[in-house]
Chains A and B, each alone.
Chain A
Amino acid sequence: MSLANNCRLYKKSSAEPVAVIAKLENPGLFISPSGGGNDSTQWLYRDCSFDLSGYNQSRLKVSHNLSGDVLIIDDPDLIKQISCGQSELPGMEALTHKLKLRPWLELKSWLTVMSIIIGICLGGYLLVEATVNASIDHLPIAVDKQLGESAFKHFLKKYKFINDDKQLNRIRGIAEKLSAASSMPYKFDVYLAKSKEVNAFALPGGKIIVFSGLIKDAKSDDEIAGVLGHEIGHLKKRHSLRDLLHSVSLLQFCKFVFGDNHEDVQELMNLMLKIEGLKYNRDQESEADEIGINLAKKAGYDPNGLIHFFQRIQDEESNSPPAFILSHPLPKNRVVALKKKLADLEANSN
């Protein structure tokens, strides 16, 4: 059988190859310049020694013992023809075995590398979570309060606070009932900020800021109790501090694993961390929702209040962006999750 292909010939005293065409002509190889010409030569297999060379030893290196020249063949078909057809040559059997194993070894390498990468990422993530969970209980509430104070300064600059006794007494009265039901180790300070935004914030350490837009929008004390219960849920689980520890630990872990000296990798890493951070926040929001309806129920309010509140927001929103780019779950998803949670609560209480 004759098979010709482009190969590279290295003369004994040269590191620069010449392009040649090698043709199988048993019992040897017929080698001619690829651009034509009379400078052809024939190597008999018995005068040659064979070895593997090049990238991951994927090329056949044929050394001509008489001239000292070397032919490099990288065409898999031609290599197969030579190695299978000349198995009686010294060392050829071992070489054929190596070539047969090569695809499997490459696959094995890929699988090993991927397993190591996935293992490190997964193990690292779990380690970060375990570290955050273990350390959060050992951090004093003073840390939360300090964080909350610095954030509160920002609110003081940005918003005007309302000192209307009637409205403040209403929300503080609800908060006190919820506080009694929550068995929190410290009291909350509830503030009313002037803003059309329908929202409320819990700052670590116990400061809860309710926007006047929310009070205006809420149809009952039950709804306000649901929202305040949600904010107390954040405080109870120390979500701000937990989020901070989680994001900083994960960032340091990623820098340790992937390095921080390559701009593109850094940008990709930041994007992944941002997406992961949003998911983490959404999970915290869902957890606070559950605590919110629990507390509202315990304090004697209708736990459906929070559901009604989100249902109204859902009705007002015409187009929802994709959930994965949001720090809060979509209102419709919150409604579904809360209804399920409430059904479970009622089933358990019966």
Chain B
Amino acid sequence: MKYEVVYPGSNAMLVVTLNKGEQIKAEAGAMVAISPNLTIEGTMDGGIGASLKRAALGGESLFFQIIKAEHGPGEVLLAPAALGDIKLLELNAGKDYFLQGGAFLAALGDIKIDTKMQKLSQGMFSGEGLFVLHTTGRGIVAASAFGAVSQINIMPGDEYIVDNGHIVAWSGDTNYQIIKAAKSWTSSFTSGEGLACRFSGPGTVWIQTRNPQAFGGWLKRYVGAGGGGGASLSRLLDMGT
């Protein structure tokens, strides 16, 4: 299997070349183009319970797609919905990664994806949601970000503070806690930074250079709010005997 991120930056795309018999797992709807001899199957990875948990709680799709090279080698192009870069994270040697909801793009190799619940305080305030994706196994995890991806290596004994809307993924050995970004609660909120995550080494954190929620807020100032769901006539008419 070969893989490469092409057009790195805001329009990044993952190109995976599969040998006959190989397969990969990808986020539903991520396929851009595919060789005709590759097949796509929708799957509820881990069963309906795990899929519902992943979709409803982890911010991912209900279905994954399994792309298989059953009939011969081929190529598949994958891209996330939002503008941003793709980071390839290598899993081996008992390592594991946590991904914020929505950051999963593809898993190349023997990789298990699960949803884990964070501590209540972390889940409520970290910005990643109460549930995060946990990846284990051997292979490559492709994570998508909003904007560019920056890798922060935290040495043993060191710490690093990240604004909670900018986290993409972090290594499983890293410890983190929620803190106020500024010295006092008042200045923490008046500075516009609010809450942040303090990561303790050793480990690695990948951050995105843009905050999707902040971008959404900025966009809302220029775009009118959409209309709500209207009442349907068919429901009104469904009142027979």
Residues in A lying within 8 Å of B, measured CB to CB:
6-8, 10-19, 34, 52-57, 59, 61, 63, 68-70, 72, 74, 105-106, 109-110, 112-113, 147, 150-151, 154, 199-204, 214, 227, 230-231, 234, 239-240, 243-244, 247-248, 251-252, 258, 262-265, 267-268, 277, 281, 327-328
CA distance A199 to B13 in the complex (A): 57
A230 to B231, CA, bound (A): 24
Indicate whether B219 reaches chain A with its CB closer than 8 angstroms: no
Cβ–Cβ contact A201 & B240, under 8 A: yes
Q: Check B238–A110 contact: CB distance below 8 A.
A: no
Pairwise interchain contact A268-B62, C-beta atoms closer than 8 A:
yes
Question: Which of A11, A113, A263, A267 meets B117, CB within 8 Å?
Answer: A113
Q: In the complex, A252→B231 CA distance in Å? A: 12
Alpha-carbon distance between A199 and B238 when the two chains are bound, in angstroms = 11
Add 10 more A-B contacts to A16-B153, A56-B118, A154-B237 (CB < 8 A). A55-B134, A57-B175, A61-B173, A68-B156, A70-B156, A113-B130, A244-B235, A247-B235, A264-B56, A265-B56
Query: What is the distance, in angstroms, from B152's C-beta to the closest C-beta of chain A?
Result: 8
Contact A252 to B62, CB < 8 A, known contacts A8-B173, A70-B156, A154-B237: no
Q: Are the CB atoms of B155 and A262 closer together than 8 Å?
A: no
CA distance A268 to B93 in the complex (A): 38
A152 and B39 alpha carbons, distance in the complex (Å): 51
Does B8 sit at the interface, judged by CB under 8 A? no
- With both beta carbons as reference points, the residue of chain B lying nearest to A51 in the complex is identified as B175
Instruction: Give complex CA distance A245, B117 in Å.
Output: 36
Q: Could you say which of B141-149, B188-196, B199-207 contacts chain A?
A: B199-207
A338: shortest Cβ distance to chain B, in Å? Answer: 13
Residue positions of B touching A, CB distance < 8 A: 52, 55-56, 59, 61-63, 92-95, 98, 116-120, 130, 134, 153-157, 171-175, 200-204, 228-229, 231, 233, 235-241
Known pairs A59-B173, A200-B241, A265-B56; A14 contacts B235 (CB<8 A): no
| A-B contact list, 28 entries, CB within 8 Å | A10-B173, A10-B203, A11-B156, A14-B202, A15-B153, A15-B201, A15-B204, A17-B93, A17-B173, A19-B94, A53-B173, A54-B173, A56-B116, A59-B173, A61-B173, A113-B117, A113-B120, A150-B233, A154-B237, A240-B236, A244-B235, A264-B63, A265-B55, A268-B55, A268-B56, A281-B238, A327-B238, A328-B240
Majority DSSP secondary structure for residues of B touching A: loop
User: In the complex, what residues of B have CB within 8 A of residue A69's CB?
Assistant: 156
Residues of B close to A10: CB separation below 8 A: 155-156, 173, 201-203
Q: What is the CA–CA distance of A150 and B157 in the complex, to the nearest angstrom?
A: 71
| Chain B, residue nearest A306 (CB) | B241
Q: List chain A residues, Cβ under 8 A from B94.
A: 6-8, 19, 74
- Which of B130, B154, B229 sits near A15, CB closer than 8 Å? B154
Bound-state Cα–Cα, A194 to B134, Å: 62
* Contact of B239 (CB < 8 Å), options: A214, A239, A263: A239
* A-B CB contacts (within 8 Å), total count: 143
CB–CB A262/B204 < 8 A: no
Residues on A with beta carbons closer than 8 Å to the beta carbon of B98 = 55
- Across-interface contacts of B173 in A (CB, < 8 A): 8, 10, 17, 53-54, 59, 61, 72
B151 to chain A, nearest CB (A): 9
Q: Which residue of B lies closest to A209 (CB)?
A: B240
Bound-state Cα–Cα, A63 to B155, Å: 12
- A306 to B240: give the CA distance in the assembly, Å: 14
The minimal Cβ–Cβ distance linking A207 to chain B, given in whole angstroms, is: 11
**Residues on A with beta carbons closer than 8 Å to the beta carbon of B241:** 199-201, 214, 227, 230-231, 328
Q: Is the CB of B239 within 8 A of A244?
A: no
Q: A202 and B239: CB pair below 8 A?
A: yes
Cβ of B231 and Cβ of A13 under 8 Å apart? no
CA distance A147 to B237 in the complex (A): 10
| Bound Cα distance A96, B59 (Å) | 34
B200 neighbours in A (Cβ, 8 Å): 53
Complex formed: what's the CA distance from A56 to B176 in Å? Answer: 9
Q: How far is the CB of B168 from chain A (nearest CB, A)?
A: 16
Q: Which residue of A lies closest to B173 (CB)?
A: A72
Asked whether, in the complex, the Cβ of A8 is within 8 Å of the Cβ of B95, the reply is: yes
- A277-B119 contact, Cβ under 8 Å, with A54-B173, A55-B98, A230-B241: no
Complex: how many Å from CA A168 to CA B204?
81
**Residues of chain B with a CB closer than 8 A to A154's CB:** 233, 237
Provide the bound-state CA to CA distance between A329 and B63, in Å: 34
By the criterion CB–CB under 8 Å, are B134 and A199 in contact? Answer: no
Closest chain B residue to A231 by CB distance?
A: B241
Determine the distance from Cα of A252 to Cα of B228 in the docked complex, in whole angstroms: 8
Q: How far is the CA of A15 from the CA of B171 in the complex (A)?
A: 10
Given A110-B117, A264-B61, A68 contacting B157 (CB threshold 8 A): yes
**Whole-angstrom CA separation of A8 from B203 in the bound complex:** 11
Please name all residues of chain B whose beta carbon is closer than 8 Å to the beta carbon of A68 when the two chains form the complex: 156-157
A-chain residues with CB within 8 Å of residue B134 when the two chains form the complex: 55
The answer for the CA separation of A177 and B119 in the assembled complex, in Å, is: 66
A147 and B94 CA atoms in complex are apart in Å by 64
- Nearest residue (CB) in A for B122 is A56
